[in-house]
Amino acid sequence: MLSIYGIVISISIFSCLIAAEKIYPEKKKEIWDAGLYAVIAGIAGSRIYHVIDYWQYYKESPVKILEVWNGGLGIWGAVLGGALGIGIYSLVHKNSFLEITDIVATVLPLGQAIGRWGNYFNSELAGKETSLPWAIQGKHPLFFYESVLNMILFLLLVRFSKRNPAPGVLLSIYLAGYGIIRFFLEFLRVTPWKMGGLNVAQMVSILSIGIALIIFIKGRRK
């Protein structure tokens, strides 16, 4: 049975595809073809990321690993998995990897902004305690913070997409933008995933910002 979380995630995926079609009408076929690869690989990657994070829970009941509709998707895993899916699509169909990832990067924050509300309905992603007036049950509503910031990032990327940027520029803006958003929001999380005392999401965020700089610098040199 499809949960509210599953419905929200489904809406976020279709919103991305429809938005991409509106922003890049000349790439309609590539969007839906590449989207299939990206969505399948992205969901798999996001689930793997989440399961590794909560392995102590899932090892007691491995069958729950397949219950994606009940929640439990890691966005960094989705980004890595989606990139792999687009890479496979680009090799099979001989399309430009950077051109396709630029399209995905433009609309991905929209999907994230919508998808974070799935965390709300699942009572997930509550932050540290706070007395701020917008607190939910006395805690920072991290899902809301990220939803708003992702929507701002989406609008920024749409604006830049109209300037006919060089391949890779939009991808670098997304990687840097979301990397910064996630890095700072992690300070408000109660039980972040840590390895060796280091926050995994923050380490991936720093790596994402670094990759963004490399892509941007290489793009300017061409």
Q: What is the tens place of the pLDDT at every residue in 156-177? A: 999 999 998 999 999 999 999 9
How would residue 222 be classed by pLDDT, with cut points 50, 70 and 90?
A: low
Other CB atoms within a 10 A radius of the CB of residue 48 amount to 17
177 burial type by CB count under 10 A (0-12 exposed, 13-18 middle, 19+ buried): buried
pLDDT digits (tens, 9 = 90+) for 73-83: 889 999 999 99
Specify which residues 126 forms β-bridges with: 141
* Look-up of token digits 């990321």: 49
Annotated binding site, which residues?
116
- Distance of alpha carbon 166 from alpha carbon 106, whole angstroms: 14
pLDDT at 1 over 60: no
Radius of gyration of the chain (CA): 17
Other CB atoms within a 10 A radius of the CB of residue 135 amount to 14
Contact 183, 205 (CB under 8 A): yes
Its sign, for the CA torsion 138, 139, 140, 141, is negative
